[in-house]
Amino acid sequence: MLPYLTAESPGCGGVIKSAPEDFVVEEIPRYAACGDGTHLYLTIEKRGLTTPAVVQRIARALGRKPADIGYAGMKDAQGVTRQRLSIEHVDPQRLLALQIDGVRILDVTRHTNKLRIGHLAGNRFDIRLRGCSAGAAEIATAVLDVLARRGVPNYFGPQRFGRRNRNAEVGLAALAGDYPAAFAWLLGRPEASDAPAEHTARTLYDAGGLPGCARAWPAHCRDEARWTHVVAQREAGPAAWRTLDRRLRTLFYSAAQSAVFNGVLARRIAVLDRLRDGDIAWKHANGACFSVETAAAEQERCTRFEISPTGPIPGAKMSTPTGAPAEIEQTICAEVGLPEIPRRSPDGITLDGARRPLRVPLENHKVESGDDAAGEYLRLQFSLPAGAYATSLIREITKSPDA
């Protein structure tokens, strides 16, 4: 349970994503398309599909490779998302004529370059919470007033850590070269919340019954069944680990890095808007970082939300703080099982690392209550910078990790 910035305020409860229309997110582009060039920018609306799934379907429909299609940000399947994609050397009318389930093409225009991850200023959210307690609008307004003044805690959201919230443990074990533990987190260690068939398979894995485990996985766990076969043939060592897709292994390492950041933010949550001597500060205007020698000399800029303290994404290119901030980061790394800052994983994947602000600004926030065919709701509208998670804001209002 990560601590709240607004712990002194009550929560209103409620759940998000009861229906796709209850969670609407729209990208805020970093720049407008110029109207000329060989690249076509598609503004799409998707529902029930991840961004990679949409890319695959469009690529298949056009007879192109998924790598030919660019996008600025990844969006998950739950909810309604409006975002931009890009592709080069295609007739605009062919794009507008595409018929793909779960996808609407809203607009096509031209530009001079391919969209890349990060070509994004932020996201606008329009979210309806259902099942809230009495006085939810007043509670939400009070919490948002604090977040607008002090900042939204920039926690990595649960999406980062996987369906079972265990991606970080997998990544940390693999970074330590403990592949039996990594596979145990992947394939064993059943939990009460697991579906019965999955619970059986994981129990068999822990007991060493690999043939029975491989047969026991339900149909939606095809990857787990395949990995179980690999472990049975090669044992749970580096050779078996390398059979996992490189992107998947990178995802596990990213989750491990994210766990370190969340741990540091949790330790500093009560003073996330206060600089300390030795901090690495983040400039919100351009994302540049600099070392803070004397916190008192820079705190006024922090109060104006021009700059913020940062936390670590451990890796080779990460700047390191000094003094008390360094001690906190070293302590958290040790607690999660990462005693040294990794530069490369044992399987040869480079871990660049970075700094990430402990807080992000909240803009254009609005609260209203209402009801529709699905019942009463609390509607929240707000904007966050790219890379920030709406769930980190929602949990402050609901005081529920499962919002």
Query: Alpha-carbon distance 387 to 109, whole Å?
Result: 25
How do 80-88 and 23-29 pair as beta strands?
parallel
DSSP 100: B
Active site residue 36: no
Residue with tokens 């009495």: 134
Query: Alpha-carbon distance 254 to 156, whole Å?
Result: 11
Look at residues 20, 85, 94 and name the one whose alpha carbon lies nearest to residue 55. Answer: 85
End-to-end CA distance of the chain: 13
Query: Alpha-carbon distance 51 to 71, whole Å?
Result: 8
Report in angstroms the alpha-carbon separations of 113 from 31, 35, 210, 235, 344: 11, 11, 49, 46, 31
Query: Alpha-carbon distance 309 to 275, whole Å?
Result: 6
List Cβ neighbours of 221 (8 Å cut-off, separation of 6 or more): 198, 201
Catalytic residue among 22, 36, 68, 76: 76
DSSP 316: T
DSSP 291: E
Token code pair at residue 47: 């529902």
For the purposes of burial, counting CB atoms within 10 Å of the CB of 1, is it exposed (0-12), middle (13-18) or buried (19 or more)?
exposed
Look at residues 271, 282, 279, 264 and name the one whose alpha carbon lies nearest to residue 323. Answer: 279
Query: Alpha-carbon distance 4 to 399, whole Å?
Result: 8
* DSSP-derived 3-state class of residue 37: coil
Query: Alpha-carbon distance 373 to 387, whole Å?
Result: 33
Query: Hey, which residues are catalytic here?
Result: 76
